[in-house]
Amino acid sequence: MHEMGIASSVLDAVRTEAQLHPGLRVLKVGLRIGELAGVDPESLRFCFEALVKDTPLDPLPLEIEFCPRRQRCHTCGCTFDVADYDTNCAFCGLSPTECVGGTELELSYLELEES
């Protein structure tokens, strides 16, 4: 399962970060997932919970921020969210536009607390 590998790298990143802050406990993890990243947020959450279970980090809530696909218009320079796969500019209606968002797959934050 694709999501299991991702969940495992997220957890590795969390552990690495936690080691940099001895004496602090990780309370919560924030993750940004783009619409085009090809990741199912619910499966990822499920895998993450399964990996965290029965470890010293348990329970560790995963907060997922979903990032919609965004395009930038070459003609007028505006950026807009894509609805219904329509990549024409939402403002001037002219193509071409380029993809500038929606491929995110990254940690956005870690919430830490003194243990």
- Interface stretch with Zn ion, choices 15-23, 46-54, 61-69, 74-82 (CB under 5 A): 74-82
Burial tier of 112 (Cβ tally within 10 Å: 0-12, 13-18, 19+): middle
Q: Is 1 a residue that touches Zn ion (CB under 5 A)?
A: no
User: How far apart (Å, rounded) are the C-alpha atoms in residues 90 and 85?
Assistant: 12
- In whole angstroms, the minimum distance from the beta carbon of 5 to Zn ion comes to 38
Does 51 participate in binding Zn ion (rule CB under 5 A)?
A: no
Residue type for position 72: R
Nearest to 60 by CA among 70, 48, 69: 48
- Of 1, 27, 50, 76, the one binding Zn ion (CB under 5 A) is 76
Q: In whole angstroms, how close is the CB of 77 to Zn ion at the nearest point?
A: 7
Among 75, 81, 96, 100, binds Zn ion (CB under 5 A): 75
